[in-house]
Structure 1
Amino acid sequence: MMTRATSSCLLLCLLPVGCAGWRSDRVVIDDLLHRPDARHGTLGPSGKRLFAERLDEGLGFRGQFSYIHYAKIADPIMFQPLDWAISSSNHNVFKQDKPFVSATDRVDWFPSHLVTHSRFGRFVVTERKFITDDDTLVELVTVTNDSKVSAECLLQVSSGFARERGPDNTLTGAADFRGVRGHAVLLAPRFALAGNEPSLWRCVGIWPGQSVSFRIVMSFQEDAATAVRTAREWAVRSDPLGHQRAAYQKWFDDNCPRFECDDPYITKLYWYRWFVARHCLSRACTGNLPYPYFFEGTHQPHFPRLVSFSSPHIIAETRWLRDPQYAFGQVSNHCLNPDDTSGFFISARIDEKGGDYNNWIVKAAWEAFKVHPDRQWLASVIEAMSEDVRGTLRQFDRDGDFLPTPRKHGTTGMEYQPSFFYFNENYDDSKPDAPLERGDYAAYLYGNASALAEAWRFLGNSARAAEFEQLAGKIQVACLEKLWDPTDRFCYAVREGDGAVARVREIVGFYPFMSRLLPNEPEYVASLAYVVDPAEFWTAYPPATVTQKCPAYTPHVATWPAAGGKTRGCMWNGPAWPHATSLILDVMAIALREYNQPHVKPEHFWHMLDRYTHLQYENGDLGRPMVTEYYDGQSGSPDPTGCPDYFHSTYCDLIIRQVVGLQPSNSNRVVVDPIPGPLKWFSLRGLRYRGHDLDIVYNSAGAGREPGLAVWVDGRRAAYRPGVIGRVEFDLPAGERLVN
């Protein structure tokens, strides 16, 4: 059952005013997502290029930081107080030879900054620290004498990166970051260089109960002069924390559609997932990656880059931001970084590219265009997207049957799917994996080809449209002839070459529904019964990534119960993966709206959404949202080694399209078709769609408002369905400018 709370539990309050129907205060992201702990050593804010890979305990910015990509910048700011105490009775002076042993009393984590309170002997040190949008580390420090004795405190600032003594009492450092020279300048007003060591010093006298405040800043820039100027600006800026909070909040105010509902878990997770997007946003804008884009994550070496497997999720999610540069930038960067030989999309950093994953980037790009119809942008990327599809077949369809074969199980992005080891005795995963043609790759390629056919037709090129329409048809025929089993009524993987069937049901067997590859006929929709079968995929946190009947199945992370027993960080033999769950939620929604089938019901969709939502809260705690790579499918416990704030699934997109029900199309016809469920009310406001602002509001009969579903366009009510929730449709105002 869905967990419920009254609307008074929410930070927001819906109030009816004027013709726009509903109004609420903006969501203050710091207030909504604040938590009183260190949050696993994460730092919320990131700059255009600078981000924290790991924040360690201790004064200053200790841990590992990165610039542009994973970079191992260790302890960029180290701050240490030393005690010179004066006894109030006899004025004897003594010096403590070693730094204090500290004790952190409290940590308050906010998306825009971190606050810590630590005790160092007689001193209480409060720090407010953050990374600014212009790549500067700012630490605001207050030292309080918590004793009854006057004291002099000797303050030392040093750096693990800026180890050179610079002019005007600064510390400097520089290094090459994948071909980009990065310069850092560290300064602290009223601190001075002393002796020959690369450190800054200041001595302050503090009376009992009194405090002294100061700031330490360190700016990373591509040239030294800019680093100096930026550091000095932050050193003298009035109310730097207020400035940081306002600038950070502005991104959410400017870009995010405002959603809330009577389920506080859904509302909060919706906003948390926009935080994940902002947290992973990179604007290095150099080298191979001149456009803004999003990392898969900011932790571990392989996530802070453009990754082809996570990009479709990222594009789907970020297309709903008001500014299309974010989703479009993800696509455009891929278009600039194809495989040199065959032209298909691969992963990239600013100075290199490589790493192929099966993906549906082209389909996601076309879906983003439907939200922000920019004809000029589409024309600029469609040739590269066409080459991605052609190149995929050139490189991976070795037998010419229109079913590509991934290089190995790892390049599916779904490592250790049991089908790859089906032909080994007892699924022995220590033996080589088989070359397979699978439902996921077929679904992705079919979706990409179908999207290109629509896009080329929109641009007026009927020959190209026919090329990809015919290609999509050939992929569909091949999938139905080779992968579909009419007896089991399931889409299995088959071995390339001899066509031997790997008769193990995996989650990817349902993926063809997400691209509408499977026909709307009883034989094919019968496979949906497996999704909701408790003996197959319907686990405590559905869906399992392989049927529970498989000998290699386990709900647990990093476990292989069959022969071999080889394990690694990513295992797709049963646990719950947000990547797969978000896709299957889409499959269920498509089945409910577009297929004549009796198996998947609205309550199945809502149960899975509820489990998916609660999976992304640590121990089910409403105050601790956190998405990571994957989870135990039985207990919901996360992989303990996983990447926090992992951007490899959708959530906001699901809320907008399936809960609220907006169905994007490349026309001025607006369709809003929510999946009926347990919500008493919801409100989505300020959604930018095809050049217009949409507000969509629903109230049930028990919500205390006039029941029904209403849609406003640019402040005017365009559609209203009284009573129970259901489909509404209408045309956008004629004559609006819909492209740049």
Structure 2
Amino acid sequence: MLDQLKYKIIAFVILIAAFSSCKSGATHSKKGTATILEADNFKHYVDYFNTMEDENLKFAIPNDSAWTWMEKNIPLFECPQQNFEEIYYYRWWTARKHIKKTPLGFGITEFLVDRSYADKYNLIACALGHHINEFRWVHDPKYIEQDVHLWYRGNDGKPMNKLYKFSSWTADALYNRYLVNNDKNFLLDMMPDMITDYSVWEKDRMRSDGLFWQHDVKDGMEESLSGGRKVQNARPTINSYMYANAMAISKMATMKGDKTLEEKFKSKADNLQSLIEKKLWNPKSEFFETFTEKDTLAQVREAIGFIPWYFNLPQKDKGFEKAWEQIKDEKGFSAPFGLTTAERRSPRFRTHGTGTCEWDGAIWPFATAQTLTALANVLNNYNQTFVDKTDYFKQMDLYVQSQYYRGKPYIGEYLDETTGYWLMGDRERSRYYNHSTFNDLMITGLVGLRPRADEKIEVNPLIPQEKWDWFCLDNVLYHSNIITILWDKTGEKYGKGKGFRVFKNGKEIAVSEKLEKLVSE
């Protein structure tokens, strides 16, 4: 009798634990267990970063707790090119600085210092899509989940007052996060908020022709060549964002089994795709351009013309990919320290001065992150001959090189394209500017883990074959499994044999003699 009672109690405890797990929708139950790399081998980076400053601003995770947090939460990475490795850990170190406790949970800031145009708790919505895409790789989901809840429900259950101050691709980013953590519950719980979000933008920003307009400044891109702070242009930014958000909501509706809603938002996306290709594509410049409030093309190439590929929007085999030749052209966007925000051949390039947030050519990490995400999509999803892995690696290399200031790791607002000098770099507001992604690019682009809805693991590295003799990305929490990706040219570095290998929970699931696309069955 006692034995039966004991077994019933054990069964009840197990049932309660299972119910709690399902209810929470948590997918981080597996603790970080790196297969190859030892976390302590990278602690020296954080020790160094902590010495670079007098920590005048401390929030949820101060410097003395930074390594403890990183050790528990981030994928590990090593490679033979030291600056890549250093900036990888530096960007996690800086991202952690922006986690802020509020009465309603964690928020993620853009500036560490208070800004007059921020919402409660110093939150700014401009880079929310970047924050979600970067933080989707953090093992503990509460930071980004509470931040999203704060934005959409933190005002007595309603959105924050300044959520719509900036256009965004939040629904798309949340769906992309689902592709990493497989948390269907959280995604579908946010679905009504995303539908409401979409209707707000339709009401406030949709033109009679079905395109969306936006002030440059409310795209987070002040002082551009194609518009202005008060001009109502149909820009590739907001239109691509709204296409992507409609596609994401359609996919959410599919997951929920709502066929009517699925078709409704798929139709919205299809219509926007057609309008963008028809009205924003300039066949003369072979580029997506801003469509002005006067219903004419702006006749200038800007980095925002690459954004449609951030969402795989342009139809394949239609010739649109020729636009990517411009990232290799020194009269286009190719500059000594990265990709400019406007084409260098324009007579108005860098004519707006300095110090008022100009997007007239200087390099902004916000735009660099978008362009490199788009480029990775082109290399993965489109058949074309205009760009290849060497182009991607070159720009990632320049992105890494640009993130130094006076010999130390640094991320700020924007920089000079020829000298690498950070504009306004000595201003307190610029330090640790949380306005871009980097580690998401390292994981999904350079190393090439391509998130998917199914259980196949796809890896397509964009590292040229002879560039590095070895590298390893480890402790990646993906679909509740720990993924390890490594390349070892000689087999002597990691002792797992020669070649390119993918492991799931320590078990090898895919291998090749060379750096190439692998898909585990």
Smaller-chain TM-score bracket? 0.7 to 0.9
Q: Following TM superposition, by how much is the alpha carbon of 1:388 offset from its aligned partner in structure 2, in angstroms?
A: 1.1
Task: Supply the AA of the counterpart residue of 2:290.
Answer: A
Q: Following TM superposition, by how much is the alpha carbon of 1:675 offset from its aligned partner in structure 2, in angstroms?
A: 0.9
Task: Supply the AA of the counterpart residue of 1:268.
Answer: E
Matching residue of 2:6: none
Matching residue of 2:392: 605
Matching residue of 1:693: 482
CA pair 719-251 structure 1, distance change in 2 beyond 3 A? same
Task: Supply the AA of the counterpart residue of 2:38.
Answer: S
CA pair 587-598 structure 1, distance change in 2 beyond 3 A? same
Q: Distance in 2 between matches of 1:470 and 1:608?
A: 36
Q: Is structure 2 residue 59 aligned with structure 1 residue 46?
A: yes
User: Contact 2:337 / 2:401 at 8 angstroms: preserved in 1?
Assistant: no
User: Contact 1:33 / 1:272 at 8 angstroms: preserved in 2?
Assistant: no
For residues 282-321 of structure 1, the aligned pairs below 5 Å read 282-284=100-102, 286=103, 290-302=104-116, 305-321=122-138
Q: Is structure 2 residue 371 aligned with structure 1 residue 584?
A: yes
Task: For residues 618-650 of structure 1, give each alpha carbon's deviation from its aligned partner in whole angstroms, at most 9, with x where no partner exists.
Answer: 24x3xx211001101110000233511111111
User: Contact 1:681 / 1:703 at 8 angstroms: preserved in 2?
Assistant: no
Q: Is structure 2 residue 183 aligned with structure 1 residue 391?
A: no
Matching residue of 1:528: 324
Task: For residues 455-486 of structure 1, give each alpha carbon's deviation from its aligned partner in whole angstroms, at most 9, with x where no partner exists.
Answer: 21112211111111110001111111211122
Q: Following TM superposition, by how much is the alpha carbon of 1:276 offset from its aligned partner in structure 2, in angstroms?
A: 1.1
Q: Distance in 2 between matches of 1:36 and 1:717?
A: 37
Q: Following TM superposition, by how much is the alpha carbon of 1:334 offset from its aligned partner in structure 2, in angstroms?
A: 2.4
Q: Following TM superposition, by how much is the alpha carbon of 1:387 offset from its aligned partner in structure 2, in angstroms?
A: 1.4
Q: Is structure 2 residue 289 aligned with structure 1 residue 492?
A: yes
Task: Supply the AA of the counterpart residue of 2:40.
Answer: R
For residues 28-427 of structure 1, the aligned pairs below 5 Å read 29=43, 32-34=46-48, 39=53, 42-43=55-56, 45-47=58-60, 111-112=63-64, 247-284=65-102, 286=103, 290-302=104-116, 305-336=122-153, 348=160, 353=162, 356-397=165-206, 399-406=207-214, 408-420=215-227
User: Contact 1:335 / 1:385 at 8 angstroms: preserved in 2?
Assistant: no
Task: For residues 516-556 of structure 1, give each alpha carbon's deviation from its aligned partner in whole angstroms, at most 9, with x where no partner exists.
Answer: 111112421111112221111111122110111222212xx
Q: Distance in 1 between matches of 2:456 and 2:213?
A: 39
For residues 613-632 of structure 1, the aligned pairs below 5 Å read 613-619=400-406, 621=407, 624-632=408-416
Q: Distance in 2 between matches of 1:23 and 1:36?
A: 23
Q: Distance in 2 between matches of 1:24 and 1:391?
A: 48
Q: Following TM superposition, by how much is the alpha carbon of 1:38 offset from its aligned partner in structure 2, in angstroms?
A: 5.8
Q: Distance in 2 between matches of 1:574 and 1:680?
A: 36
Task: Supply the AA of the counterpart residue of 2:337.
Answer: Y
User: Contact 2:34 / 2:482 at 8 angstroms: preserved in 1?
Assistant: no
Q: Distance in 1 between matches of 2:152 and 2:169?
A: 13
Q: Distance in 2 between matches of 1:38 and 1:718?
A: 41
User: What's the secondary structure of 2:193's corresponding residue?
Assistant: helix
Q: Following TM superposition, by how much is the alpha carbon of 1:589 offset from its aligned partner in structure 2, in angstroms?
A: 1.2
User: What's the secondary structure of 1:719's corresponding residue?
Assistant: strand
Task: For residues 145-204 of structure 1, give each alpha carbon's deviation from its aligned partner in whole angstroms, at most 9, with x where no partner exists.
Answer: xxxxxxxxxxxxxxxxxxxxxxxxxxxxxxxxxxxxxxxxxxxxxxxxxxxxxxxxxxxx
CA pair 38-539 structure 1, distance change in 2 beyond 3 A? closer
Task: For residues 42-100 of structure 1, give each alpha carbon's deviation from its aligned partner in whole angstroms, at most 9, with x where no partner exists.
Answer: 4475337xx8xxxxxxxxxxxxxxxxxxxxxxxxxxxxxxxxxxxxxxxxxxxxxxxxx
User: Contact 1:532 / 1:599 at 8 angstroms: preserved in 2?
Assistant: no
User: Contact 1:673 / 1:728 at 8 angstroms: preserved in 2?
Assistant: yes
Task: Supply the AA of the counterpart residue of 2:260.
Answer: A
TM-score (norm 1): 0.61
Q: Distance in 2 between matches of 1:491 and 1:372?
A: 33
Task: Supply the AA of the counterpart residue of 1:638.
Answer: W
Q: Following TM superposition, by how much is the alpha carbon of 1:452 offset from its aligned partner in structure 2, in angstroms?
A: 1.2
TM-score (norm 2): 0.86
User: Contact 2:39 / 2:71 at 8 angstroms: preserved in 1?
Assistant: no
The structure whose Rg is larger is: 1
CA pair 569-680 structure 1, distance change in 2 beyond 3 A? farther
Q: Distance in 2 between matches of 1:676 and 1:702?
A: 18
User: What's the secondary structure of 1:283's corresponding residue?
Assistant: strand
Q: Distance in 2 between matches of 1:35 and 1:248?
A: 10
Q: Is structure 2 residue 231 aligned with structure 1 residue 467?
A: no
- RCO higher in structure (CA 8 A, sep ≥6): 2
Match of 1:444 among 241, 244, 247: 241
User: What's the secondary structure of 2:77's corresponding residue?
Assistant: strand
Matching residue of 1:512: 308
Task: Supply the AA of the counterpart residue of 1:46.
Answer: F
User: What's the secondary structure of 2:253's corresponding residue?
Assistant: helix
Matching residue of 2:501: 710
Q: Distance in 1 between matches of 2:49 and 2:379?
A: 38
Q: Is structure 2 residue 330 aligned with structure 1 residue 543?
A: no
CA pair 535-254 structure 1, distance change in 2 beyond 3 A? same
Q: Following TM superposition, by how much is the alpha carbon of 1:700 offset from its aligned partner in structure 2, in angstroms?
A: 2.2
Gaps of 5+ in 2: 1-32
User: Contact 1:259 / 1:685 at 8 angstroms: preserved in 2?
Assistant: yes
Q: Distance in 1 between matches of 2:108 and 2:299?
A: 37
User: What's the secondary structure of 2:194's corresponding residue?
Assistant: helix
User: Contact 2:57 / 2:112 at 8 angstroms: preserved in 1?
Assistant: no
Q: Distance in 1 between matches of 2:101 and 2:218?
A: 27
RMSD: 2.5
CA pair 543-469 structure 1, distance change in 2 beyond 3 A? same
Q: Following TM superposition, by how much is the alpha carbon of 1:702 offset from its aligned partner in structure 2, in angstroms?
A: 8.4
Q: Distance in 1 between matches of 2:313 and 2:50?
A: 48
CA pair 298-20 structure 1, distance change in 2 beyond 3 A? closer
User: What's the secondary structure of 2:473's corresponding residue?
Assistant: strand
After the TM superposition, which of the residue ranges 684-693 and 694-703 deviates more from structure 2?
694-703
Task: For residues 550-586 of structure 1, give each alpha carbon's deviation from its aligned partner in whole angstroms, at most 9, with x where no partner exists.
Answer: 22212xxxx616xxxxx64311001011111111111
Q: Distance in 2 between matches of 1:700 and 1:730?
A: 21
Matching residue of 2:471: 682
Task: For residues 79-132 of structure 1, give each alpha carbon's deviation from its aligned partner in whole angstroms, at most 9, with x where no partner exists.
Answer: xxxxxxxxxxxxxxxxxxxxxxxxxxxxxxxx32xxxxxxxxxxxxxxxxxxxx
Q: Distance in 2 between matches of 1:359 and 1:500?
A: 24
After the TM superposition, which of the residue ranges 569-578 and 352-361 deviates more from structure 2?
352-361
User: Contact 1:680 / 1:703 at 8 angstroms: preserved in 2?
Assistant: no
CA pair 597-336 structure 1, distance change in 2 beyond 3 A? same
Task: Supply the AA of the counterpart residue of 1:402.
Answer: G
User: Contact 1:331 / 1:365 at 8 angstroms: preserved in 2?
Assistant: no
Q: Following TM superposition, by how much is the alpha carbon of 1:691 offset from its aligned partner in structure 2, in angstroms?
A: 1.2
Matching residue of 1:634: 418
CA pair 379-516 structure 1, distance change in 2 beyond 3 A? same
CA pair 253-540 structure 1, distance change in 2 beyond 3 A? same
User: What's the secondary structure of 1:695's corresponding residue?
Assistant: strand
Task: For residues 471-507 of structure 1, give each alpha carbon's deviation from its aligned partner in whole angstroms, at most 9, with x where no partner exists.
Answer: 00011111112111223221111223x4122111111
Matching residue of 2:23: none
User: Contact 2:342 / 2:359 at 8 angstroms: preserved in 1?
Assistant: yes
Q: Distance in 2 between matches of 1:44 and 1:651?
A: 23
Q: Distance in 1 between matches of 2:186 and 2:168?
A: 21
Task: Supply the AA of the counterpart residue of 2:73.
Answer: N
